[in-house]
Amino acid sequence: MKKLTISIVNYNSGEYLINCLNSLKKLKNELDFDVWVIDNNSVDNSINRAKSIFPDFNYLVNRKNLGFGKAHNQILKKAKTPFLLTLNPDTEIPLGTLKYILSYMEKNPDVGISTPRVEKPDGKLDKACHRGFPTPRASFEYFFLKNDKKYHLTDRDMTKIHEIDSCVGAFMFIRSSVLEKVGYFDEDYFLYGEDIDLCFRIKKAGLKIMYLPDVKVLHAKGISSGIKKESSSNSKASQETKSASVNYFNEVMGIFYKKHYAKKYPFFINWLVYLGINLKSSMTKIKKTV
């Protein structure tokens, strides 16, 4: 019986999708899993190339771009395996990573989601895989005081297994039964934020999010959106896609704060938070990268 379903949302990822699927094909000897590639109306022929090169994988082609969470939910809601993995098409998984995490999850039933060390092409940690929740204090210290201890938990020992608040949707190894309990990706988020929202609900339900640094995944980061500093020059995203992605990125914190924090704080704190979000949004639109 297969224990894992891998869900990949593709949007004009080009050769990165092929490399991702090739890395998965190499893992078939160490673990049996299903792979689903959901295409969000790409125009770069990447999905047709993938079908031709990897006919044993499963494909779902949407007639329009449904966004990250809604596209993943199409597969997550119907998968029958006890574990699920959301994976970005601009990732590559080394040998041993999935087998290690599956074993860890089976031995630790109080864990809802696990992530390995997500590593960027320069070898540095993708900090999005190791986050604290964006409370008003954590966000203020990070964005305005450049103190990253609460926002990305940078004071932790990154060589040891430990609990975190949130990982990144590029790689989330999820216990299926947890989604049945807390719900799937919140489709109010089109792109960005749905991962931290899901982690928030899982921790609220009393389960853990764990960081497992003994294994890793490689992440080019931002190939589809084209707005990440480290990959903007390699992305083939159109200007329209980049502009839309910046807008989605800027909307996220407002949506998250309204859903999970606004009722906990007085009016003047909320006013300051929304002011900070608007200031950060303006800065992002000027730079056009995040």
Alpha-carbon gap, residue 109 to 132, rounded angstroms = 22
pLDDT score at 289: 62
What pTM was estimated for this model as a whole? 0.92
The per-residue pLDDT for range 214-259, each reduced to its tens digit, is: 999 999 987 767 556 665 666 666 677 777 777 777 788 889 989 9
Q: Does domain 4-287 have CATH number 3.20.20.80?
A: no
pLDDT score at 181: 96
Q: Are 99 and 31 in contact (CB under 8 A)?
A: yes
With vertex at residue 283, the alpha carbon angle to CA 191 and CA 188, rounded to the nearest 5 degrees, is 20
* Residue 212 one-letter amino acid: L
pLDDT score at 144: 83
Q: What is the dihedral of CA 162, 165, 166, 171, to 10 degrees?
A: 20
| Residues of the chain falling short of pLDDT 70 | 224, 226-238, 283-290
* CA end-to-end span of the chain: 42
Contacts 24+ apart (CB under 8 A), 72-77: 72/7, 72/9, 72/38, 72/169, 72/184, 72/185, 73/184, 73/185, 73/187, 74/38, 75/5, 75/7, 75/36, 75/38, 76/5, 76/7, 76/174, 76/179, 76/184, 76/185, 77/184
Q: Where are the alpha helices (DSSP H) in 108-238?
A: 136-145, 176-182, 194-204
Please identify which residue in the block is written with the tokens 């989605």.
Answer: 248
pLDDT score at 80: 96
From the list 85, 112, 71, the residue with the least C-alpha distance to 24 is 85
SS3 201: helix
Q: Are 166 and 199 in contact (CB under 8 A)?
A: yes
